[in-house]
Amino acid sequence: MKKKQLWGAFLALSLLVVPSGKVTGQEQDFATWSSVEMVYDWKQAGLELDGVLEWRTKDRVRRTDCAVVYLAVNRQVLPWLSLGTNYEFSYNNMDEDGWMACHCYRLRAVLSTRLWRWLDVSLREKYEHTFGQHGFREMLLRQRLRLGHTLPESGVEPYVSVETFNSLFAGDRFRWKRTRYRGGASIPLGGGWKGDLFYLYQDSRKVGKHVIGLAGTYRF
């Protein structure tokens, strides 16, 4: 009975990542995100090296939104604390303004624990600074809460998460920029590969974006 109650609590929390409704005047879009990730565990240095190629669509999957190359270095400094940094280059479709190349660097910290021996909980804090052509700049604090549970029989991990983006520019007064609500499942595929199938809703002032995502990760 206790396990059923805990599952009920998990499902109730998962409802938090479902947006309650549309913002007045907000446009809705449908998109896809797909990525391939390579992760190398450099044991001698105690580091994890990470590389990602990603492609995103927009305008109801009719046009490319952006193409992304991502490189990261992470270190598990404590059993419950991971620190990392990464660089990202993206080529973005800005509609009538054409294409824009952007550079982004991030610093991140992830706190993680396990509750009741089955619920994995993590809190990620990420500083993000992006700059591009024509004077484009964005400085954000990203905060993500993630809940997941790995099924012992199959190794499949269903999860839910919610992530907020707030501006760090002095004049913005920590203004909210967008929120991402995500639910999905991480699936072991064998041979070092793992798949991730997810649905994501990105809420912002102008556009609400529905995303179906597929990611593949190879770890060696």
In a domain, 23, yes or no: no
CATH code, 177: 2.40.160.40
Local structure of 118: helix, strand or coil: coil
- What are the pLDDT digits (tens) for 12-64? 555 554 554 444 568 999 999 999 999 999 999 999 999 999 999 999 999 99
DSSP 154: T
The pTM assigned to this predicted structure is: 0.88
Structure tokens belonging to residue 105? 């660097």
Q: Which residues contact 12 (CB under 8 A, 6 or more apart)?
A: none
Residues 14, 211: Cα–Cα separation, whole Å: 17
Beta strands 27-42 and 207-219: pairing type? parallel
Structure tokens belonging to residue 149? 């549970």
Nearest 5°: phi and psi at 5?
-65, -40
In a domain, 24, yes or no: no
- What are the pLDDT digits (tens) for 71-110? 999 999 999 999 999 999 999 999 988 999 999 999 999 9
Local structure of 204: helix, strand or coil: strand
In a domain, 114, yes or no: yes
Using pLDDT thresholds of 50, 70 and 90, give the confidence band for residue 7: low
Residues 141, 128: Cα–Cα separation, whole Å: 6
Residue 88 near residue 69, CB atoms below 8 Å: yes
In a domain, 26, yes or no: no
Residues 141, 6: Cα–Cα separation, whole Å: 31
Count of other CB atoms within 10 angstroms of residue 80:
12
Domain count, the chain: 1
- What are the pLDDT digits (tens) for 182-198? 999 999 999 999 999 99
Name the residue type at position 106: R
At residue 144, does pLDDT exceed 60?
yes
In a domain, 197, yes or no: yes
In a domain, 11, yes or no: yes
- The range of the structural domain enclosing residue 203 comes to 2-18+31-219
In a domain, 25, yes or no: no
